[in-house]
A and B are shown apart, each in its own frame.
Chain A
């Protein structure tokens, strides 16, 4: 193939295929990817976990061997001369690739040596990088003692120590707080504009697409689309709407909307339901909305995620939305507090992981704990589940402190651990069997519940499959099924949707909504700002404290300004942190 636009292309990817053998089975990581990455702009490599982003990044750096195809980086064949590629690019792997027992300065020195930065050029470059990343006051601090956001910036500085022609960043924003995320994007904008650098970064956060100049959208080893991010959102123009209903609760409304012909996607967003119409349906007039009288419908701005869902649906993903019989609504307002936390503290040495927090959750409510890694939400979560004793304060879950509660009290709760922790070597059926026995189900009742789980979560075809080999979305379903075997009253979900694709996330939240409608209380932690919108109420945490608590609408409303009439959850979060910092100063 003649390589077109050589001058403007930083990377050319041509029919790239890559397979791995894992546990005796071949897994296709990349299945014929073709792409072109322009010089001088920021290109986002976007997709859920397992899309093949990291594999593609590593192939570009010459760290992996291609099965077939060709990758040309800055005019060099990366398979033939990896060292030439490696000495021209800056690369930050996942988890930043820092030596945690070296100081900030020592890490910089090391990478300057390895990238052969002349001694004379170093002082100026260091000063520039340290200024840009705000790390100047911390040069003597060990990298391991930096916060997640600072590590990320140091990783970036190390990748930039010799001005590279091409900067490759693999999931640079995972697990860092929104403020650091915004600062990172600020730095990227600056270096592309000021130094004309080409940047390729991968991310699983779909909302980051809009910050890129160009986007490669990947899913399961294939490229779903590429181009300017606006081309993705433009394709969805006029198909997104917001729906509110006076008399119907939002979850029931969502169920009905999702089952309405012509509606491609319906998700809860704060107090209203956001719908996307399918391609064949041209306007909201064509949709048979339920209970038209009390329903208000207004157009909404299209988002990148809408296009992703659209493309996935076009490929036959997802499943027909069934209308589920929901029980009659519980009498509103009468629900008692099921989870009560008062002045809870947890100290590790001198460090307060959780510092004096209070909140309560009512029956049938979905309550979210929102915050970055290290904000204290996992510690809170572990104390609620009885996994960690509190240093001081009181907590009650269904009237008990689970730390000292008798086993019977624990029968009332369900728990889904981070990363969908399952017994990976056991089959789906064995996992279900074990968890139902652990909760005291035996005999006919156990058989009935296993049959229910296999049917409800469509796991029956995988019943005998080893669970670690399941696709991520199915692992997530199985983990939820295991937590629900004993029909708990309260369910704890720790980062339940991280890394899964939007369809799996929608399926998951649909089950959670149904559970909540049936009176199950749900407590969920997430660092995914968008997910906060699915919760009835949420608490935003940072540095072990709760910064704000309430419905997402009311939190966002506090930060509505003239130039930002409709702040996103993330914008509200950043504003909140800035406000608290200003108060502290």
Chain B
């Protein structure tokens, strides 16, 4: 039996590698997505355009303004001279943030009264707005601390000592790039597996396969294993790119990572085989894969946290294998998570693998 399965696997791999269309699916989109997601998908703020309205024009206020201008997160667009200019700048989106320093800023500082700074931010992109406010507040707090130190003002009785564990520079690339391992592995595996049976149905070779003495288990294995192989290979390439090209730290063990990867790819293969056995043409298979993929990516925590979703939607994500694998891959990369710590992620994937494989086998027999 194994020799027959092996023959089918070899044939399957040859067919995928020799067909221009499939080669494109394997090489083109993954590369584009790796580059685009790796570089374009960032939440870090760089060069946010800001304007400063300094109504005080004394040394301390100029110092504060200089701190803003010198921050890599911000780029000073203009020094304003009247409050009337603010509205137009923000509304027309030329500036995201306006820092308005009160005319009595220095005087209030010297009198130990709260010196007033107004931050006006464009809330159209709420995430950018919040992050920009966060950066601005840090700059102002730093300024306040050093001013107090230099001028003998009261020290705050308590100070925050903030550390970001696992990702001290808070680099969002470290978050996105390991996520791409999950994303692309899912896309490629699903497409390869979902299209394989449909392609044979269209070419008319599937009937020929069913007429041979191969059992449906053999065919299922022969169709599933190439997807497993290609998915694992693709994941390996992206892991290498993450480590060597994007310099994402890899703290955990590869064994744990591959245990998770194998379970994930198998679960996706099962889903791919289910789509495959339900679709008569490659077009239907593509549509089916798309219909599964879009919600599964959106509801995985790849781009936005699951915790921010409504409760009902959060519960829905529990049946999404990608959700678990994302935690595994980020855990292994950044947290150095151990096999034991990831068990709560691994067993649901194992369960899904079992369920999807059995369902695929059942659908396969029924359709075949």
Report A's interface with B, CB cutoff 8 A. Answer: 23, 382, 385-387, 402, 407-408, 410-411, 413, 415, 417-419, 421-426, 430, 433-435, 437-440, 442, 466, 482, 492
Contacts and interface: CB of A to CB of B under 8 A. Distances in A.
Contacts of A492: 211
Nearest to B5: A437
8 contacts: A382-B207, A385-B207, A386-B211, A415-B207, A419-B204, A421-B205, A438-B7, A438-B209
B126 interface: no
Given A419-B204, A440-B4, A426 B18 contact: yes
Nearest 7 interchain pairs by C-beta: A437-B7, A421-B204, A407-B213, A425-B18, A415-B211, A438-B212, A434-B11
Given A423-B15, A425-B15, A426-B18, A387 B207 contact: yes
B213 A387 contact: no
A410 B205 contact: no
B319 interface: no
A413 B64 CA distance: 87
A430 B11 contact: yes
Nearest to A434: B11
A440 B1 CA distance: 8
A312 B205 CA distance: 32
Contact of A423 (B11, B210, B212, B214): B11
A415 B205 CA distance: 11
Nearest to B17: A425
B17 to A, nearest CB: 8
B11 A426 contact: yes
Interface in B200-220: 203-205, 207-215
Nearest to B11: A434
A485 to B, nearest CB: 10
Given A438-B7, A466-B18, A417 B204 contact: yes
B19 A415 contact: no
A408 to B, nearest CB: 7
B280 to A, nearest CB: 14
A466 B15 CA distance: 11
A421 B4 contact: no
B14 interface: yes
B14 A410 contact: no
Nearest to A443: B3
B349 interface: no
B11 A413 contact: no
Interface string B3-38: 110111011001100111000000000000000000
A435 B205 CA distance: 11
A387 B206 CA distance: 10
Nearest to A482: B208
Contacts of B211: 385-387, 402, 410, 413, 415, 492
Given A438-B7, A442-B3, A417 B18 contact: no
Nearest to A431: B11
B213 A440 contact: yes
Contacts of A415: 207-208, 211
A438 B213 CA distance: 7
B285 to A, nearest CB: 18
B201 to A, nearest CB: 10
A426 B15 contact: yes
A466 B19 CA distance: 11
Contact of B205 (A408, A423, A440): A423
**Could you say which of B11, B18, B213, B214 has the most chain A C-beta atoms within 10 Å of its C-beta?**
B213
A482 B205 CA distance: 12
A419 B207 CA distance: 12
A438 B15 contact: no
Contact of A424 (B203, B210, B212): B203
Nearest to A479: B208
Main secondary structure of the interface of B (DSSP, over half): helix
Interface residues of B, number: 24
B336 to A, nearest CB: 44
Contacts of B215: 407
B200 to A, nearest CB: 8
Contacts of A466: 18
A491 to B, nearest CB: 11
Contacts of B8: 434, 437-438
B14 A425 contact: yes
A449 B62 CA distance: 90
Nearest to A440: B213
Contacts of A430: 11, 14
Contacts of A407: 213-215
Contacts of B205: 417, 421-423
Contacts of B209: 438
A126 to B, nearest CB: 36
B84 to A, nearest CB: 62
A322 B19 CA distance: 39
Interface in B35-71: none
Contacts of B203: 421-424
A434 B11 CA distance: 7
Given A417-B208, A425-B14, A434-B11, A408 B213 contact: yes
A42 to B, nearest CB: 35
A490 to B, nearest CB: 11
A438 B4 contact: yes
A407 B1 CA distance: 11
A237 B6 CA distance: 58
A65 B29 CA distance: 34
- In this complex, which of A386, A423, A424, A442 has the most chain B Cβ atoms within 10 angstroms of its Cβ? A423
Contacts of A419: 204
Contacts of B212: 410, 435, 438-439
Given A385-B211, A410-B212, A437-B3, A418 B18 contact: no
A437 B15 contact: no
A482 B11 CA distance: 14
B127 to A, nearest CB: 46
A442 B7 CA distance: 10
Given A417-B204, A425-B15, A410 B4 contact: no
Interface string B326-343: 000000000000000000
**Most chain B beta-carbon neighbours within 10 Å: one of A411, A417, A419:** A417
A204 B193 CA distance: 38
A498 to B, nearest CB: 13
Nearest to B203: A421
Nearest to A381: B207
A401 to B, nearest CB: 14
Contact of A426 (B14, B20, B214): B14
Given A387-B211, A410-B213, 6 more contacts: A385-B207, A423-B11, A426-B11, A430-B11, A437-B7, A438-B213
A478 to B, nearest CB: 12
A455 B330 CA distance: 58
Chain A CB count within 10 A is highest, among B20, B211, B214, B215, for: B211
Contacts of A435: 208, 212
A114 B328 CA distance: 61
B11 A411 contact: no
A387 B18 contact: no
B14 A417 contact: no
Nearest to A410: B213
Nearest to A413: B211
A417 B203 CA distance: 10
A456 to B, nearest CB: 20
Output the residue of B6, B18, B204, B208 with the most chain A CB within 10 A.
B208
A248 to B, nearest CB: 35
